[in-house]
Structure 1
Amino acid sequence: MREILLINPNTSVDTTAMMVAIAQTCAPNGYMVSGATAARGVSMILDAERLQDASEEVIESWKRHRGELSGIVISAFGDPGIDMLRALTDVPIVGIFEASLFEAAQGDRPFGIATVTPDLADAIDANVQKVGLGRLYTGIRLTQGDPMTLVSDPARLEAALADAVARCIADDGARAVVIGGGPLGQAAVGLAHRFSVPVIAPISAAMRRISALLTMSS
């Protein structure tokens, strides 16, 4: 069985388990998804400083892993450490940020982002420009309330994100909406088919992208 490593740059093992479960449902035949949880940091990245700090822990998580890997998924919205890790290994590496944005923008489709972290909004906007998709970006819509409180209540989280998605579509003209965050993975799956436009679940998008890369390299 070939292995894809999903790195959670947050310290929550429960979040890692949730993300691995989602990823495994999208894994290509013959591949097992394993998880690596950050040993240092925070249980959920909420601001740009913590996102930057997570880069080193992504590298350390990879170094701690033992065994031959076929691919790696970085499962934090912002893809911390992705360029550093690509310089250290030749296996395919996908970040949930870039994968979900590339999928949302297919066919020059205008897209928005719905998420829970206001203190990451500027970093998200900057990263959209970094991956070259600024011309298609309709903007970010944020949920109301404390992010940690929302994430602890799955039904409330999904409802709040649904409202943000609706605003991306109705107010901003988005024709696809990305759910912005690895810890939002389960809510993203729940929202994927509730709207008239595609709602992109980032972990699923990352697995589709890495599956395509593995097919190309085989």
Structure 2
Amino acid sequence: MSPTSPPAAPADAATGTPTARLRLLHAALRLFAEHGYAKTSIRAIAQAAQANVAAVSYYFGDKAALYAALFSEPFGDMPSLVADFTRDGLDLREAMQRYFRGVLAPLQHGEIARQFMRLHIREMLEPTGQWEKELEQDVRQPHDAMVRLLGRHLGVAGPDDDLHRLVLAITGLAFQIWCQQEVLAAMEPQLLATPEAVDAWTGRLTEYALAMVAAEQALRAPAAAPR
């Protein structure tokens, strides 16, 4: 998953109307999420986007390239987020804030973000080969970056199982929100209803993450000498 920024293809500056490329991305996202890669045709995407079939070739090349674009373009890319939260000079709190802000910001797009999550779930259930690419770039790379960041903070000489557990627990805070969008919409819709509501998660998850790091630090501290 690569949720880090607003949609890459903007609306036309003069009219405010979504460009043909953006309409194709949104239509493809919805149809691929609903029906899967194999059962979604280029013609259906073009029709839903109110675009010519040739527009897919013009903007993306083919169906496979359009599908691959959905895993990076709609919400930016994870390498950019890694560079942001691992920037030199950041203290741990600022690094965590940058991480959670970047991961959660796309939730402000509501239904598009929910479709994005459905697309990833469908790709895992009906793999096309895109999942392997996602695993390396959008899962492994940020995980390793967070391991290095927290390892330095904790003074750990090298990554061990407990450090990996800590990182998975912290990053899982954000991805649980992503995975529970449908549940939140049904039970507590106000928690994701506005940009401000989404932003509120950043502050809370940052505090939760710092508490986890402090707990891990305490667990690693040498046992107090007996009196």
TM over 0.5: no
Larger radius of gyration: 2
Q: 1 or 2, which has the higher strand percentage?
A: 1
What TM-score, normalized by structure 2, do the two folds share?
A: 0.33
What TM-score, normalized by structure 1, do the two folds share?
A: 0.34
Q: 1 or 2, which has the higher helix percentage?
A: 2
